[in-house]
């Protein structure tokens, strides 16, 4: 499946989710991420701040700050994206895509864990919005790459390019997929 088709399918599926479904799924994803050793052990974490069509990461940011990790979020300038260190006192502005970015701060060059958004995925293959910011950034930063997505964003037979950086791990509200292609149930996403 071509990237454009995968994006179209995944976006249509996300649009069918209610606000309550997105919130429930985001909570299950946050709970699963907070239980992962790769998150617990990371000292320097790069986390996206998403839109309402992506899993909410604000709780992950708050948890990482509470755990006294160095936390950075994306800031785009021209064709490049930087990981800007934030604190609980950082000020933000909304960029041209409706995403919050820190107004001030220093770039974090060394990262242990990057938490990455996507539009669609197939296993650990991901497709972003098409600008290539994350692929360029990740090509220059050696770190563990953790993708977050709603289960409905999964497509089959996704074709990616050689420059598309694969994930090390992916978390949805229903499962956790690792680089070794092992898949685990996300018990946090079970309904009682």
> CA 114, 120, 125, 126 torsion: positive or negative?
negative
Architecture of domain 3-189 in this structure: 3-Layer(aba) Sandwich (3.40)
Domain ranges of the chain: 3-189
List of the chain residues with pLDDT < 50: 192
Joined tokens for residue 152: 């409905």
Is 27 exposed, middle or buried, given 0-12, 13-18 or 19+ CB atoms closer than 10 A? middle
Q: How far is CA 175 from CA 59, 111, 140, 147, 153, in A?
A: 19, 25, 29, 12, 13
Joined tokens for residue 43: 């000292």
Other CB atoms within a 10 A radius of the CB of residue 15 amount to 9
Reduced DSSP (H G I as helix, E B as strand, rest coil) percent helix, strand, coil of the chain, to 5: 30, 25, 45
pLDDT recorded at residue 190: 58
For residue 21, what are the β-bridge partners?
none
Which pLDDT tens digit goes with each residue over 50-94?
Answer: 888 999 999 999 999 999 999 999 999 888 899 999 999 999 998
8 Å CB contact between 172 and 15: no
Give the DSSP letter of residue 75: E
- Reported pTM: 0.90
Q: How far is CA 127 from the centre of its chain?
A: 11
pLDDT recorded at residue 52: 86
């Amino acid at each position: 499946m071509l990237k454009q088709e995968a994006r179209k399918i995944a976006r249509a599926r996300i649009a069918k989710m209610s606000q309550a479904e997105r919130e429930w799924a985001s909570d299950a994803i946050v709970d699963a991420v907070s239980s992962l050793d790769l998150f617990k052990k990371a000292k320097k974490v790069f986390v996206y701040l998403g839109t309402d069509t992506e899993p909410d990461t604000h709780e992950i940011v708050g948890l990482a700050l509470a755990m006294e990790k160095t936390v950075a979020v994306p800031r785009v300038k021209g064709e490049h994206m930087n990981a800007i260190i934030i604190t609980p006192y950082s000020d933000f502005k909304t960029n041209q895509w409706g995403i919050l970015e820190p107004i001030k701060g220093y770039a974090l060059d060394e990262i242990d864990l990057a938490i990455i958004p996507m539009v669609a995925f197939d296993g650990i293959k991901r497709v972003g919005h098409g600008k290539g910011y994350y692929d360029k950034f990740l090509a220059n930063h050696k770190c563990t790459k953790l993708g977050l997505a709603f289960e409905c964003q999964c497509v089959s037979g996704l074709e990616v390019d050689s420059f598309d950086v694969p994930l090390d791990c992916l978390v949805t509200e229903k499962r956790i997929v690792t680089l070794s292609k092992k898949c685990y149930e996300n018990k946090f996403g079970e309904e009682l």
